Amino acid sequence: MKKTLIVYGTRWGTAAEIAEEIARVIKEEGIDVDLVDAKKIKHYDVSPYDLVVIGSGIKMGKWTKKSLNFLKDNKSALKDKKVALFVSCGAANEEKSVAEGWEKYLKDVAAEYLEDDPVDMGLYGSVYDPEANYGLLYKITSRFMKKELEEKGLDPNKRHDYRDWDEIRSWALGLANSLKE
Ligand SMILES: Cc1cc2nc3c(=O)[nH]c(=O)nc-3n(C[C@H](O)[C@H](O)[C@H](O)COP(=O)(O)O)c2cc1C
């Protein structure tokens, strides 16, 4: 049976939920999946896997330290594998910042941390939650999002999930299919 490893870095759970959905879709295709929080690992043996998916949420332009450590530690081990990268970030929420998100959070990371090109990359949105209480930095960021929602005539008192779940599912399905070729 083909095997996939999914490693994610998350600060507020947004990328974790994306990783879970990717895992669910790939499993449904009859592929074995291990889903791992980068925080919980020191060293991970990637040798049994045909595909390794690594993703992270972005804070101040950065992946989580542990998810980057995973990439660093496994640079040569990942060389002969199919590797896919994804991020969850505010840049994906707005058309005007999508290209910059791709460049900074995916292409630059792939160029720095992978020896070969990834088989695929995915840039996914974030969640606006007026009820969330994650401290000052989160609050300040939410204020910007609130303003953008108001400018668009959308209700800032409601939670907005900018993640395109259909796009995420079809991305995961594409990865699963690439293992069947
Ligand atoms: C303090 C803070 C800083 C952030 N910095 C960025 C950023 O530099 N670029 C960006 O596109 N999104 C940024 N975001 C949005 C996050 O990337 C987004 O909320 C993402 O879904 C978080 O994923 P996680 O919950 O898995 O960590 C920031 C959010 C917060 C709260």
CA angle 15, 35, 179 (to 5 degrees): 100
CA–CA gap between residue 108 and residue 90 (Å, rounded) = 17
Burial label for 169, CB within 10 Å (0-12, 13-18, 19+), is middle
Q: Which two tokens stand for residue 102?
A: 């791709």
CA of 141 to the centre of ligand 1 (A): 8
- Smallest CA-to-CA distance from 77 within 46, 107, 55, 119 is with 46
pLDDT, tens digit, 9 for 90 and up, residues 65-92: 999 999 999 999 999 899 999 999 999 9
Judge whether 16 and 56 are in contact, CB under 8 Å: no
Decide: 2 and 50 in contact? Cβ < 8 Å. Answer: yes
54: pLDDT strictly greater than 90: yes
Q: Please, what are the domains in the chain? A: 3-126+163-178 (3.40.50.360), 128-161 (no CATH)
**Nearest alpha-carbon partner for 85 in 106, 63, 103:** 106
Is 90 near ligand 1, meaning CB less than 6 Å away? yes
- Residue 177: pLDDT above 90? yes
Residue 30: HSE in the Cβ half-sphere, 13 Å Cα cutoff: 5
> Which pLDDT belongs to residue 111?
98
Task: List C-alpha distances in Å: 30 to 2, 22, 126.
Answer: 8, 13, 29
State the average pLDDT over residues 13-41.
Answer: 98
Cα 27 to ligand 1 centroid, rounded to whole Å: 28
pLDDT band at 36, cuts 50/70/90?
very high
Note the pTM of the prediction, 2 decimals.
0.97
- Please, what is the average pLDDT of the chain? 96
Which atom of ligand 1 is closest in space to residue 126's alpha carbon? 21
Q: Are 105 and 175 a contacting pair, CB within 8 Å?
A: no
CA of 43 relative to ligand 1 center, distance in Å? 26
Q: What is residue 39's predicted lDDT score, i.e. its pLDDT?
A: 97
Q: Which position has the token pair 């290209």? A: 99
> How is residue 168 written in tokens?
């995420």
pLDDT for residue 181: 75
3-state secondary structure of 81: coil
What's the pLDDT at 87?
Answer: 99
Residue-level length of the chain: 181
Sort strands 120-124 and 82-88 into parallel, antiparallel or unpaired. Answer: parallel
Give the mean pLDDT of 127-145. Answer: 93
Give distance in angstroms: CA of 80 to centre of ligand 1: 31
C-beta of 57 in contact with ligand 1 (< 6 A)? yes
Ligand 1, residues 37, 89, 100: which to mutate, most atoms within 8 A of Cβ?
Answer: 89
Instruction: Give residue 42's pLDDT.
Output: 84
